[in-house]
Amino acid sequence: MQATQTLLEVIGRGDEAEGMAIVEREPEAARGTGAGGESPVLAAVYRGQMQLAQAIARHRQLDITEAAALGDARAVGELVRRDPGAVRARSQDGWTALHLAAFLGHAGIVRQLLDAGADIEATSENYMRNRPLHAALAGKGDPETVKLLVARDAEVEARAATGVTPLHTAASRGSVEFISLLLARGADRSARLDDGKTPAELAEQRGHPQAAALLTAAPGARS
C-alpha cells in the first residue's frame, strides 16, 4: 500500500521522527509491505531505528523473521508453537530468523530457534550467501551468540560469497577473541578468498596487526 511505501521511504532517509509521526497518524502504514515485499519492521531495524521498529511492530502481526530481529522471545515462541516449520521461513531479502537473531546479537533468540530445529547451516538467499555464524561475526559480534553457534557445531570453515570464511570475517574485524575461538575449533588459517587473501592478510590490510600476528604465528599454523 502507498502508506507503507511512504513509511519505507522515510525510514530509508533516516528520519525516525517522521516515521514515528506517520505510524501514529496512519497506523495502516505499519501493517503492509513495500512494493517489493519489504518489511517496514526490518527496514527500521537494519537502520538502527529501534524505537520506530517497535512502534511499527505494535500495529502488525509479526512474522518470525521480524520477531527474531526485534529480539521478541514471546512472539518467536508463539509462532513456532503454532507452526514448527516457521523456523525455515525467510525474509523478503533472503535471511532466516536465525541469521537475523545472530547478526543482531540476540543470543536467547538464537538458542530458542536452534532448540526449535532451525538450520544452523542455512545459507542466505541473497548475494552474501552466508550462514548464521558469518552473520553473528559480521554483525553485533556478541560473544555469547558466537560462542553458542560454535558450541552447537556451526561449520567454522563454511564459505560465503567471494570465499569468505568465519575466520576471514573475524580477522577483518580484528577480533582476537573470535579468531582464537575459531582456531581452537579447527578453522583453517590458510583459507583464501576468491582474490587470494588469507585471514592474516585481510587483518593486516584492515589495520589489525595483533590479529594478523595471531593468525601468522599461533602454534599449529597450517602451511
Per cent of the chain over pLDDT 90 is: 96
pLDDT tens per residue across span 176-219: 999 999 999 999 999 999 999 999 999 999 999 999 999 997 55
Q: Is the distance from CB of 197 to CB of 205 less than 8 angstroms?
A: yes
CA 148 to chain centre: 14
Q: pLDDT (tens digit, 9 = 90+) per residue, 53-108?
A: 999 999 999 999 999 999 999 999 999 999 999 999 999 999 999 999 999 999 99
Nearest CA-CA partner of 197 in 217, 173, 167: 167
Instruction: Measure CA 52 to chain center.
Output: 19
**Sequence-distant (≥ 6) Cβ neighbours of residue 79 within 8 angstroms:** 62, 63, 64, 67, 86
pLDDT surpasses 80 at 1: no
Mean pLDDT value across residues 17-30: 97
- The pLDDT tens digits of the residues spanning 168-177 come to 999 999 999 9
The alpha helices in the chain, defined as continuous H runs, are 2-13, 16-25, 40-46, 50-57, 64-70, 73-82, 97-103, 107-115, 132-138, 143-151, 166-173, 176-184, 199-205, 209-217
C-beta atoms surrounding 151 within 10 Å: 10
How far is it, in rounded angstroms, from Cα 27 to Cα 96? 27
Confidence of residue 220 (pLDDT cuts 50, 70, 90): low
Residue 64 pLDDT: 98
Q: How far apart are CA 29 and CA 22, in angstroms?
A: 7
Whole-number Å distance between alpha carbons of 180 and 170: 10
Q: Which residue has the cell 576468491?
A: 194
